[in-house]
Amino acid sequence: MCDIEPTVYVVDDDVSVRESLRLLIESAGWEAETFASGEEFLARKPLPAPCCLVLDLQLPELNGLDVQKLVADRDDMPIIFITGHSDVPAIVRAMKAGAVEFLTKPVVGDLLVSAIADAIHSSRQKLTQMLERQRLQAFYATLSRREREVMALVVSGRLNKQVAGELGISEITVKAHRGRVMQKMNARSLPDLVMIAAKCDAHRVERVPMPVDQSIPSSNRLATTLAV
């Protein structure tokens, strides 16, 4: 995915601007796709791949800020805004929402090429992180519930003895589970396992809910639960 040739998406309602930007982008060695409106671009639904979006702020119907909101989940697609008018509040909103650059028309070619290069580099990094997270989550999915409990407690800093006491199992059993966790998660060391857990959000202890004994009258269940 990260080895795919990057694409620069250009959204601008001015055909002359679209064409000049397309020529500039292609002369710099990237593939360009142009769109006359936000709706046209959103219908394209780009797949995850190295890319960036050069987006006009003033667009008919959906403006640039609207489009930015609708692709907010695509953090692998950095946005470079371009505009013919200096709109400070809009610039602030766009940058706070994650835009990487804001350029005014007529766009200086070197500045845009430099901004696109930085954006594509960022896109590659985001995609690499996403693929790594997916790989680790696939490893984590192979763990049993008990192995996930042991992993969460181990990466939180508990010793084997403490893990055993908290889960009500022997230290030997804890060591066996811990060994399988290290193997399945492809972790070389405890610090490595800690970093892996953070990357795939596997640091929380998963517990099986305690079944409620239906033979106990409902008025006594709370007291029974607190007493356990």
Mean pLDDT, residues 130-142 taken together: 93
Question: Which percentage of the chain shows pLDDT scores above 90?
Answer: 74
Answer yes or no: do 25 and 108 share one domain: yes
CB-based burial label for 112 (10 Å; 0-12, 13-18, 19+): buried
Q: Does residue 216 sit within a domain?
A: no
pLDDT tens digits along 137-162: 999 999 999 999 999 999 999 999 99
Residue 55: strand pairing partners? 11, 81
Distance CA 78, CA 101 (A): 9
Q: Which domain holds residue 37?
A: 7-134
What does the mean pLDDT of the chain come to? 87
Q: Does residue 155 sit within a domain?
A: yes
Tokens of 16: 């002359």
Q: Using alpha carbons only, how large is the chain's radius of gyration in Å? A: 26
Distance CA 173, CA 176 (A): 5
Q: Does residue 119 sit within a domain?
A: yes
Confidence of residue 1 (pLDDT cuts 50, 70, 90): low
Q: Does residue 72 sit within a domain?
A: yes
Answer yes or no: do 129 and 149 share one domain: no
CATH number of the domain where residue 37 is located: 3.40.50.2300
pLDDT tens digits along 103-129: 999 899 999 999 999 999 999 999 999
Answer yes or no: do 123 and 29 share one domain: yes
Distance CA 98, CA 107 (A): 20
CB-based burial label for 105 (10 Å; 0-12, 13-18, 19+): middle
pLDDT exceeds 50 at position 221: no
Mean pLDDT, residues 54-58 taken together: 95
What pLDDT is attached to residue 225? 34
Q: Which is nearest to 60 in space by CA: 74, 46, 80, 41?
A: 41
Q: Does residue 214 sit within a domain?
A: no
User: Considering Cα of 94, then 98, then 101, then 107, what sign does the dihedral take?
Assistant: negative
